[in-house]
Structure 1
Amino acid sequence: MKKISLYLALLIGIAGFSQSKLITKTGKITFEASVPAFEEVKAKNESVTCVINTDNGEIAALALMKGFRFKIALMEEHFNENYVESDTYPKATFKGKIENFDISKIGVTLKEFTIKGKLEMHGKSKEISIIAKIKKTESGLEIDSNFFVNTDDFDIDIPSVVSKKVSKKVNVTLDFILK
């Protein structure tokens, strides 16, 4: 039985290495939850990890919540302690698939693709579908997207004291170059 398990693990490992993967550990995610006439609520994380299996279009991304940087330190503190509770929920992850992905048909001009998958954040998960623009670059594959996430979908409470200053509809922008 041990030999069968060992052979099975070895085969799975070899199959995993035979797949083509592109990766980045310096992907950028920016989010903005600003409301007009109030102070900007915006942050950027420039150390997001993303992996694409170029054989089948599977994609996965991971962002550490404490990696988001704000212009105002107090906003960053409130974001981590009161909103996303990053000590309890330290990361956001996405696992999904790029529909109709064929690496051989990606050129140097941006082409739109639909990416569907599960976004997990703040202890909750939600199936999402986004449009992303993908192209080949000298250094790899570039993926850009802009979409909205609702804080209610992830049980992120916005205190009534600031509810008119912070939008529940959060604009998320991502920019990845995978090599």
Structure 2
Amino acid sequence: MMSNHKNILIILFTLLSFSFAKERYITREGVISFFSSTPLEDIKAINKQVSCVLDKGTGEFAFQLPIKGFTFKNALMQEHFNESYLESDIYPKSVFKGKIIDWNAIQLSENPTEVIIEGELTIHGIKQKIKEPGKIWLSSKSIIGESNFNVELVDYNVKVPKVVRSNIAEVINVNVSVQLNPR
């Protein structure tokens, strides 16, 4: 008799766990761009191969992007970026894993809501904790997310040769934009 009760409880908990399955929103077409501004030169690159997943129940999310996915206005800049600075053959991707602070207090609507994003950003094989502002809102059935923040090259051990040091900013502005759809 006790065994039957145990089996019923196991089945009940299993069924309940399926009903509380995670509601995930994803994209494989997010966009991350960066901008470096110096008196000698402005450099901009864009990557439209950004994957992102958001757990709508917890506010946890992750980004991943191939470093070689960044495109520049000329091929030589792109080559130097991949071979000399980010060493994309050795460090082929950048990853962010984190969460939106106070997710449960956020009421998603069509109006952008200011949020704080916290987690670990990995660039050039180096993990750093970050805490940055962002915005999130609903658009039809999608969740839109944006963030704009700065990255210091020294924090990720990105070395710039002396010859071009005055052409590349020490602090790079990063812009993130994703349209996440239900999975």
TM-score for both structures, normalised by structure 2: 0.86
For residues 46 and 18 of structure 1, the distance between their equivalents in structure 2, rounded to whole angstroms, comes to 29
The CA distance in 2 between the partners of 1:63 and 1:109, in whole Å, is 28
Is structure 2 residue 13 aligned with structure 1 residue 21?
no
Aligned partners of 1:58 and 1:98 also within 8 Å = yes
Amino acid at match of 1:66: K
TM-score after normalising by structure 1: 0.88
SS at match of 2:162: coil
Does the CA-based 8 Å contact 1:118-1:127 persist in structure 2? yes
CA–CA distance in 2 between the matches of 1:139 and 1:155? 40
C-alpha RMSD of matched pairs (Å):
1.8
Q: How big is the shift at 1:102?
A: 3.4
Note the residue ranges of structure 2 that are not aligned, 5 or more in a row.
1-13
SS in 2 for 1:161: helix
The Cα of 1:104 is off from its aligned counterpart by 7.0
Match of 1:65 in 2: 67
Give the deviation of 1:121 after TM superposition: 1.2
Equivalent pairs: percent with the same residue?
38
Aligned residue identity for 2:180:
L
Residues 2-151 of structure 1 mapped to structure 2, 5 A cutoff = 18-36=21-39, 38-102=40-104, 105-151=107-153
Residue 175 of structure 2 aligns to a residue whose secondary structure is strand
Q: Which runs of 4+ in 1 moved over 2 A?
A: none
Q: Please report how far the alpha carbon of residue 103 of structure 1 lies from its aligned counterpart in structure 2 after TM superposition.
A: 8.5
Computing the radius of gyration from Cα coordinates, the structure with the larger value is: 2
**Aligned equivalent of 1:5:** none
Unaligned runs of 5+ in 1: 1-10
The alpha-carbon deviation at position 138 of structure 1 amounts to 1.3
Matches of 2:161 and 2:134, distance apart in 1: 32
Matched residue type, 1:34:
S
